[in-house]
Amino acid sequence: MNKINKLFAEKAQDKKFLSLYFCAGCPTLDSTTDVILTMQRRGIDFIEVGIPFSDPLADGPVIQSAATKALKNGMSLKTLFAQLSEIKEKVSIPLILMGYLNPILHYGIEHFCQSCAEVGVSGMIIPDLPFDDYLNMVKPVADRYDLRVIMLITPETSEERIRFIDEHTDGFIYMVSSAAITGTQKSFDEQKQEYFRRIDQMQLRNPRMIGFGISNAQTLRAAQDNAAGAIIGSKFVMLLDEAGGNADVALDNLFEALK
């Protein structure tokens, strides 16, 4: 069974999940594997590993800066897969690669999915992947390699579209807290809370994870109260950079901020 499905099937009844995002190759080219293993040791449920790209349209300044640094450090998909292969036997939690379509197309969809399967990656998030291209071009290949393609929904996504996504995807649905770019927020206003409640009432087949803007106890609690759990990106990327790449220190500071 795919690790994402297994995680939600085995533990969804008794806990709320926490997923963290970081950019591969940042703050140093060789820090990727240590960050992953440290997060696993510290109890993170699954990890989104960012593929750096020169034009990250959906990302705020923190993740843009991390991507720029990673590219300057020499990070590429080929390098990332080589690094992940070194720790394949040590990683038991799901790894999800998150990146834009252009580098994946350049690498080749078939080659990308094959490489993911070979190094133990469980799925992918491609924010700028059109849904028709997902259905016709990506999903058939991903299915052959037992990979989950996670799709995003926003407050502007129609109910019809959400149900269509729910019907044709597997793993979980990534609920973007707002239509804005990534970044931290101090709280979720009533409009966002209503969005969370509206989606919850739809009783979708797939579990949902809420991301974008989660950085403190209030936003974490709001996400966990209205979904299977929370995804934290910018806050952890910022703390990891401030800690000079020391994932233990970054996690200590993150857990303190979430209290």
Name residue 174's amino acid: Y
Question: At 210, is the secondary structure helix, strand, or coil?
Answer: strand
From 4, 1, 18, select the one nearest 221 (Cα to Cα).
18
- What tokens does 25 get? 């190759």
Whether the link from the prior residue into 207 is cis, omega within 30° of 0, is: no
From 149, 9, 29, 4, select the one nearest 80 (Cα to Cα).
29
One of 30, 34, 48, 194 is an active-site residue; which one?
48
- What tokens does 248 get? 């233990």
Name residue 62's amino acid: V
CB atoms under 10 Å from CB of 39, counted, come to: 24
One of 10, 14, 45, 59 is an active-site residue; which one?
59
Q: Among this protein's residues, is 189 annotated catalytic? A: no
Radius of gyration of the chain (CA): 17
Q: Among this protein's residues, is 34 annotated catalytic? A: no
Whether the link from the prior residue into 130 is cis, omega within 30° of 0, is: no
State the first-to-last Cα distance of the chain, in angstroms, to the nearest integer. 34
- Residue 14: is it exposed, middle or buried by C-beta count within 10 angstroms (0-12/13-18/19+)? exposed
> Which H or E run contains 209?
strand 208-211
Strands 95-98 and 152-153: unpaired
Q: Which residues are catalytic?
A: 48, 59
